[in-house]
Amino acid sequence: MATQSGNLFIIAAPSGAGKSSLIRALLNQHDDGSMQVSVSSTTRAPRPGEQQGVHYHFMDIPEFERRIDAGEFYEWARVFDNYYGTSRKSVEQLLEQGVDVFLDIDWQGAQQVREHHPATRSVFIVPPSLAVLEQRLRDRGQDSDAVIAGRMAKAQAEMSHYHEFDYLLVNDDFTTTLQQLEHIVLAQRSRMQRQQCCHAETLKELLG
């Protein structure tokens, strides 16, 4: 049987849409290692409990900038005083092993990734309404009214780019949305080119 390469997926959403919970639930359902979230690189300092290579690949600014110049990132951005990026090498190693890789990035990062990897499938997740989104942000109990207002404005700006993605999921009912996300991933595994490679010997026998 030929070695099958994994699929690359971009999963984007405004804060509060439930993206992280959906990805985590999908990985829990497929805990055989066939699906993984790409570990991003960053120049910010580790927070308590964060581990190198598990939560992020931590590095200093000169090293990150060297890697930018060397073209080692699928996408990168500077947020305030820190860099964040997706390592091309680490993603491609996983894909070569047949692992489906999820990139948890924003619409700007998605544009950069598509330039390097046109076969990427992208999913944008939105809440069912602005009222629900605001309530989810308030339920976290972490932010002031001013911060929440800022997050809401940012969310609307992000959602205006939904049409740039291949799939749109409205996360009203979590179980239903999780099933839809799983169907997208599994359907991609069944695409013709992948199955031809994976089952070359079977097809050869069947067709004589």
Answer for the pair 10, 116: CB distance below 8 angstroms, yes or no: no
Identify the CATH number of the domain in which residue 137 sits: 3.40.50.300
Measured distance CA(187)–CA(189) in Å, rounded? 5
Total domains present in the chain: 1
Token representation of residue 181: 């996300």
150: left (phi over 0), alpha (psi -120 to 50) or beta: alpha
pLDDT number for residue 5: 86
Query: Is 201 a domain residue?
Result: yes
In degrees rounded to 5, what are phi and psi of residue 37?
A: -90, 130
Which residues of 18-115 form beta strands (DSSP E)? 35-37, 41-42, 57-58, 73-79, 82-87, 100-104
**Residue 73 belongs to a domain:** no
Q: Could you tell me where the DSSP H helices lie in the chain?
A: 19-29, 61-69, 88-96, 107-116, 130-139, 145-159, 174-189, 192-198, 200-207
Which amino acid, one-letter code, is at 18? G
Series of mean pLDDT values for 10-residue runs along the chain (208 residues): 76 94 96 94 94 94 97 92 94 93 94 90 97 93 90 95 97 98 94 77 88
* 124 lies in some domain: yes
Give the pLDDT confidence score for residue 141 in this predicted structure: 84
168 located within any domain: yes
Q: Which domain holds residue 121?
A: 8-38+100-207
CA distance 107 to 164: 8
Helix (H, G, I), strand (E, B) or coil at 127: coil
User: On the CB side of 116, how many CA atoms lie within 13 Å of its CA?
Assistant: 17
